[in-house]
Amino acid sequence: MAMILVGFTLILLMDLVPIVRRRSWRSAIGFFLFFIPALTLAVLRQKNVEVPSLMLALGDWLKAWGISY
Amino acid sequence: MKRQWLSRWSFLILLLLFSLLLAGCWDYHELENLFIVTGVGLDQVADSDKEEDPDKEANTEKMDVTLQIGKTQSPSTGSSDTGTQKSSAILLKTAKDTTMESIMQLDQDSSRTMLLHHNQVMLLGRDLAKSGIENRIDAFLRNQQMRMEVLVMVADRRAEDILAAELEEEEISSMYLYGMMQDLYNVSPHYKIRMLDFVSRLRDGTSSAVAPIVELVEQEDKERLKLKGMAIFKKDKMVGSLSSQEMQGYIWTMGNVKQGALAAQTDLGRAVFRIVKLEAKRDIGLNPNGSIRGTISVYATLALTELRGFSGMTPLELMPYLVTLSENEIKRQIRDAFKVAQELDADIYRFGLDFHRRHPKVWKTIEEQWDQLFREMDLDLQVKVKLPATGQIAKSLEMEEPKP
Amino acid sequence: MRIDKSRISGLQFMFAMTCFIQASTLLSTFIASVTFQDSWLAALSGSLVCLPLIWLYRSLMVMFPHQNLLEIFDEVYGPVLGKVVSAGYCWFFITLGSINLTDLGDFVKLTIMEETPNVVLLIMCILVAAMALRRGVSLVVRYSDFFVTVAFSVLVISIILLLNQIKLENFLPVFDQPIGKYIQGTHIIAAIPYGELVVFLMIHPNAKMSRRDSGRYLLWAFFLGGFTMLFTVLRDVAVLGNTLDMFTMPPLVTLRLVNLGMALSRMEILFVIVLIILLFFKIMVLYYVSVMTVAHLLKIKKYRHLILSVGAFMITYGLTLYPCPVKHAASAQETTPFIWSPFEILIPLLTFIVAKIKKLPAGKEM
């Protein structure tokens, strides 16, 4: 857990600080668009919460439509 | 400037943080903490063990697993006092349901970790081989440390005895076995049965797997290991074996022989040949009446190495005679082996696979009855021998030319 | 708008593509249990089927030499629909990158570092790739020619060393499976290694090459990569025979069998390292393309600050994709070709047709 927090804090320091300094809000959006899901997934993984797989879900959906081998 | 400074610093800290992880390998194993397994023996649980605990019912699931471990110290130390010289291999043994359970148990009970990468041979005890091994060898395929080139061999009695053998030639018996098989591999690749070859045959469905049998013999208080033919498996159970002679017949049928010897006896005398090259071509097809016809054409190049007898023959007469003699001998041995295989319903030649490959359409209709077809199959055997050399001498001492 | 201003030469572009295909040779695993000893046929037909696809990509590259895939969409479908399609591709690239990343993790775990946690391996990989990404595409593809050479040498050396174990009978019987299996195998090969070349439509504006060259380079890359793929499958079938479909990674088992007496056995570690390098290269390209896509979508000029967060997302997202390699293989065999097909074949084809109808790019070309 500590490692996750330290790692993500470092990313925050390295990337968000310059973004905020430059006040380029688009970059901030892009940054958080990936930063927050990544952090969430990392924490969920740490807490052993099973996150459903998108690929498998898509596969099952296609299978339901009869599109598969 | 200051911003850059900050981001540089955080990057540096990140790097330093990971250097902490990198400093030591994650899963390092030091040599002095390892037991290098050189051979694994699987046996049926010994009777003596059952006697110790008579209340317990005989558990057929269990098997004795023996690990042979090569010592890592150099052999030169302590070689001066030959009287108390100990073997440089350690044997560890336990009985569990599966191989990996046993290895884990041994791992727990010993001071070091087992390293299986260098395992040379998987020895199956005869009794275990007879009771079926399909459910025993999974670990040897699944485990990342196990290699597909591990030799598969059958022990004439118990595998642990073979692993425990104290040999003069080699300190570790499985290294000896490896050397022996490597040597035979130069004779014909079909002697050496790797795990891959063994499993490949098990997966064929109709083919029978074979594996060399090793025997421990005591000669004048010395232990020796000998090759004693080949075990024949039907499905995954050992059902019989080929004797050394028959094994030679089998090897010749498979072709691609590069060395070897052949001795033939007649009323006139005895001739010994060296095999220079022996190729076997085979053709398999369906007779109109639905039976299987197998044609094997053997082309052999021999060299004469020893003669005894044959007095009264001129070299000119002798050579064609020897050619027929050797041809007949090869034929005899091949037929002998084939007869054993047919009696056991065991397609050790992979004729079924050959048929499948040549005639995939027909195969589907006869696959079910292959055992019967193989039993009734007739072998059309043609042997052609070339005997280009007589060695350093053309005549022998016994072979006096009749005086005019 | 060009975000990454670094340029690469046409040759580097070609080698990058070759390397990209070569990195997928490990994925021949997926067809092994579909077409068995005929897997090489599937590899061959998959390559042939992809020739028109390569032509399609080439046409798009030639029609829009200065625009990457997302800009092409903007121009062809208009700003709104174009953005929607681009967002789809954004997901596609990131997912592809994540899948390959977990593949690398599984592979390293299976081969050399059994006990190291997956995450550590993935983080190391992403960190190194991130450093390259900061410098732009020129650094990403700089060593591709070297990687291609090494990969080729490994293939040739392994075949030579395995010559005594090659059994040509293992290819028989040919055409023993039902026809559907061949179609499935062909589709897998077409969609998984070759179709993924669509990512290079994001890179081609950075490559300095003439119209004529682009077609030539694409074909050569395709030829060299396909050659590697085909011969890897051929080698594996010839050596492993009917045990081919038993293993999770047949090429690895084959390489482990290389054995020159006592002295030169157990040298698979060299091959493994090369495969890791190749996979790393593929991940790096996919990572770069993902970051570029995000930057383009949000019109961010300074993409550098996105790199690490996208990388972190790729790792965590990748770890959720497949709970185990068995499910991965099953999905790759059954459904993934269908999921990828729209991105690799349908949308590029549609774009091409619409662009032709709309007579795009209007008046830019002479």
Q: B244-404, what's its fold? A: GMP Synthetase; Chain A, domain 3 (3.30.300)
Residue B252 vs residue B17, higher pLDDT: B252
Neighbours of chain A (3+ CB pairs under 8 A): B, C
Give the model's pLDDT for residue B165: 85
Q: What's residue C284's pLDDT?
A: 92
Helix (H, G, I), strand (E, B) or coil at C230: helix
B75, pLDDT greater than 60? no
Domains of chain C in sequence order: 8-351 (1.10.4160.10)
Closest approach of C298 to chain A, Cα-based (Å): 6
> B74 pLDDT exceeds 70?
no
pLDDT at B297: 92
Q: How many CA atoms lie within 13 A of C46 on its CB side?
A: 32
Residues B401 and B314: their CA atoms lie apart, in Å, by 6
Residue C2 has a pLDDT of 72
The conformation of residue B61, written as its DSSP 8-state character, comes to: T
Distance CA C308, CA A31 (A): 9
Task: Give the residue among A11, B256, A4 at the shortest CA–CA distance from C308.
Answer: A11
Residue A54 has a CB neighbour count (10 Å cut-off) of 14
Mean pLDDT of B150-154: 91
For C46-98, how does the pLDDT look when each residue is reduced to its tens digit (9 = 90+)?
A: 888 888 888 898 888 888 888 888 888 888 888 888 899 999 999 999 999 99
CB contact under 8 A, A11 and C295: no
Averaged pLDDT in 10-residue chunks for chain A of 69 residues: 84 83 83 89 86 85 81
Closest CA to A32 of C164, C268, C306: C306
Q: Is C69 helix (H, G, I), strand (E, B) or coil?
A: helix
The pLDDT value given to residue C258: 82
Least confident window among B61-75, B340-354, C85-99: B61-75
Residues β-bridged to residue B68: B39, B91
**Is B358 within 8 Å of C120 when comparing Cβ atoms?**
no
| Optimal mutation site among C34, C184, C290, C309, interface A, most CBs of chain A within 10 A | C309
Query: Contact A34/C300, CB-based, under 8 Å?
Result: no
Asked whether C236 and C30 are in contact (CB, 8 A), the reply is no
- The three-class DSSP label of residue B117 is coil
* Among the ranges given (B13-17, B286-290, B321-325, C61-65), the one the predictor scored with the smallest mean pLDDT: B13-17
Place of tokens 């050959």: B354
Which of the residues in chain C have pLDDT under 50? 365-366
Mean pLDDT of B163-168: 84
Q: Say how many Å lie between the first and final Cα of chain C, rounded.
A: 21
Q: Please report, for chain A, the start and end positions of each structural domain, with discontinuous segments joined by +.
A: 2-64
Which of C287, C335, C340, C343 would you mutate first to test chain A, the one with the most A CBs within 10 A? C335
Dihedrals phi, psi of B319, to nearest 5 degrees: -55, -55
ipTM of the complex: 0.91
Residue window 99-138, chain B: list those with CB within 8 Å of chain C.
Answer: 117
User: Is the predicted pLDDT of residue B317 greater than 70, yes or no?
Assistant: yes
Residue in B with minimal Cα distance to A9: B10
Give chain C positions within 8 Å (CB) of A16.
Answer: 305
* Average pLDDT taken over every residue of chain B: 82
pLDDT range class, residue B26, cuts 50, 70, 90: low
pLDDT over 90 at B92, yes or no: no
pLDDT digits over B357-368, tens only?
888 888 888 888
In this prediction, residue C98 carries a pLDDT of: 92
- Phi, psi angle pair for B350, to nearest 5°: 60, 35
pLDDT of residue B24: 58
Quote the percentage of chain B above a pLDDT of 90.
Answer: 7
Distance CA B115, CA B104 (A): 11
Domain boundaries, chain B: 32-45+60-72+87-242, 244-404
Q: Is residue B186 a contact partner of residue B197, using CB atoms and an 8 Å limit?
A: no
C-alpha dist (Å) from residue B68 to B56, B101, B108, B110, B295:
28, 16, 16, 13, 44
At residue B211, the pLDDT reads 92
Q: How many CB pairs under 8 A join A and B?
A: 21
Beta bridge partners of B257: B278
Task: Say whether C316 and A37 touch across the interface (CB within 8 A).
Answer: yes
pLDDT one-digit tens code per residue, B202-218: 888 888 899 999 998 88
Q: Is the dihedral of CA C194, C32, C282, C297 positive or negative?
A: positive
The CA–CA distances, whole Å, from B209 to B100, B194, B199, B206, B236 equal: 24, 11, 8, 10, 8
pLDDT of residue B59: 54
CB B212 within 8 A of CB B154: yes
Asked if C113 and B26 come within 8 Å (Cβ–Cβ), the reply is yes
Single-letter amino acid code for the residue at B224: R
- B83 — pLDDT class (breaks 50, 70, 90): very low
pLDDT, mean of residues B113-131: 87
Beta strands in C168-286 (DSSP E): 207-208, 259-260, 264-265
Predicted confidence (pLDDT) at residue B376 exceeds the cutoff of 60:
yes
Mean pLDDT, rounded, of chain C? 85
Q: Does C33 touch chain A (CB under 8 A)?
A: no
According to DSSP, the residues that pair with B70 across neighbouring strands are B36, B89
Q: In the predicted model, is pLDDT for residue B280 greater than 60?
A: yes
Residue C190 gets which letter from DSSP? I
Residue B360, preceding peptide bond in cis (omega within 30° of 0): no
Q: Which of C116, C117, C253 sits opposite B148 (nearest CB)?
A: C253
What band does B402 get if pLDDT is binned at 50, 70 and 90? low
Report the pLDDT averaged over residues B227-251. 89
Q: How far is C318 from chain A (nearest CA, A)?
A: 9
Chain B environment of C113 (Cβ under 8 Å): 25-27
Compute the nearest-CA separation of C35 from chain B (Å).
15
